[in-house]
Amino acid sequence: VIMTVNDANDANCEITSNLISCLSGGPGSLFINAGEDISLECDGDGCVDITATFLATFESLTENYTIEPITYDPPFAFNGLANSINTNIDDAWSPVEELPFDFCFFENIETQFQVGSNGGVRFDVDANDDYNGWQFSEDIPNNTNETLGEVNVFTPVHDIDPSVNDTNEIAWEILGTFPNRVLVVSYYEVPYFSCNELRATHMAVFYEFSNVIEVYIQDKPTCNSWNDGNTVLGIQNDAGTIAYVPPGRNTSDSPWETTNEAWSFSPDGEQTYVFEWVDSNGDFISNDPTINVCPDGEETYTAQITYTNCNGDVVVLTDDITVTLVATFTVDLGEDQELCDQASYDITAEVIDGNPDDATYEWSTGEDTQTITVTESGDYSVDVTIDGCSVTQTVSVLFEESPIFDLGEDFTTCFEL
């Protein structure tokens, strides 16, 4: 599948077909931005650097991931998601849910998921298993303790109890549009087991195409009086043999607590995108995100990126930037003229804030002098160029003749008094 999206500025893609549109869902969404249009003064060297920014993506059918702390700026609300689960049930897995997009996780293409009431999400689903364990003391990776071994994404995992009240929320929703759909799973003010006065609020975001996982923790206190306050944050493969955990966030680091913390887990395989600059004719310029351009007058450059997903889907995003040479001088041809009984008129291209001796002149009449003489009515234009920068001006000249009036022969009249 190959699909193209034009004008994908700031990750907001213009809809160009019934199948394509983009919505910026957060840091893991595909985007390309060529930057703002530039007006470049001609009195310099006529050149400028332009830089494109975009999301770099990497092969996700891999065992390798990169963990990075990211700015705590949740892209979605923690509460109010469409699909509420396990609201009044402790220690339970949700029913098996279908993903509308392929999500590549470790070495698998995942199409289903389940949400656990203790903060875990799993892709290795089991429709016959509705019990989500709570007791653990081991680090991840782990495949010997079922509480840990049955979880793929720890958002974090700890013993919380949604059955205590009906004001908490555990919910999920698919948001955004292709190729930037996301699965959002959120735990909102869920009480701790045994420490019901404490509340946990955290979220996991799973991005289509980039296959990035983000975790946002608004509030994670600790209940030291239950299960030793054990908590774990990270991701783990289905086999429970490989895990990625941020520093200080494994079970053995417990008890730990935090607020306003966020992490990104990104696949770290081979590069899965191709970036290029092309000119207005579609001709290739460079693969470098930053290039130096020297436009002739006004030129448009297109930043283009081709993304390939683990399932073979291909999406092309583009964004344009226009660089315009702006003159530092002006040209004055005088006011439009309406002339009476005049056979000719001289038009002079007066150069302001520039040296007329450095200028070249190209009139619509074909002449190349600063002043031309015209004898017919019409619009006259001139292109004045100094140091490669041009200004165009037009003046209108109308030639007219004085009217002749005929009042007839002289005549005499007589009046009687």
pLDDT in tens, 265-299: 999 999 999 999 999 999 999 999 999 999 887 89
Rounded Cα–Cα distance for residues 46 and 38 (Å): 12
Question: What pTM did the predictor assign?
Answer: 0.80
**pLDDT score recorded for residue 413:** 64
Under 8 Å between Cβ of 211 and 108: no
Residues 116 and 93: beta-carbon distance below 8 Å:
yes
What average pLDDT does the chain have?
A: 90
Instruction: State yes or no: cis peptide before 156, omega within 30 of 0.
Output: yes
pLDDT at residue 162 in the model: 93
Assigned token pair, 47: 């050149």
Q: Which of 68, 67, 114 lies closest to 94, judged by CA? A: 114
| Per-position b or e across 159-183, b if 16+ CB within 10 A of its CB | bbbbbbeeebbbbbbbbbebbbbbb
Q: What integer pLDDT is reported at residue 354 of this predicted model?
A: 87
Predicted confidence at residue 41, as pLDDT, reads 82
For residue 252, what is the DSSP state?
A: G
Q: Tell me the C-alpha distance between 391 and 163, whole Å.
A: 74
CB distance 17 to 302 below 8 Å: no
Question: Residues of the chain whose pLDDT is less than 50?
Answer: 1, 7-24
The SS3 assignment for 267 reads strand
* Token representation of residue 45: 């060297």
Which DSSP state fits 358?
G
Residue 15: predicted pLDDT: 35
Which pLDDT does position 1 carry in this prediction?
47
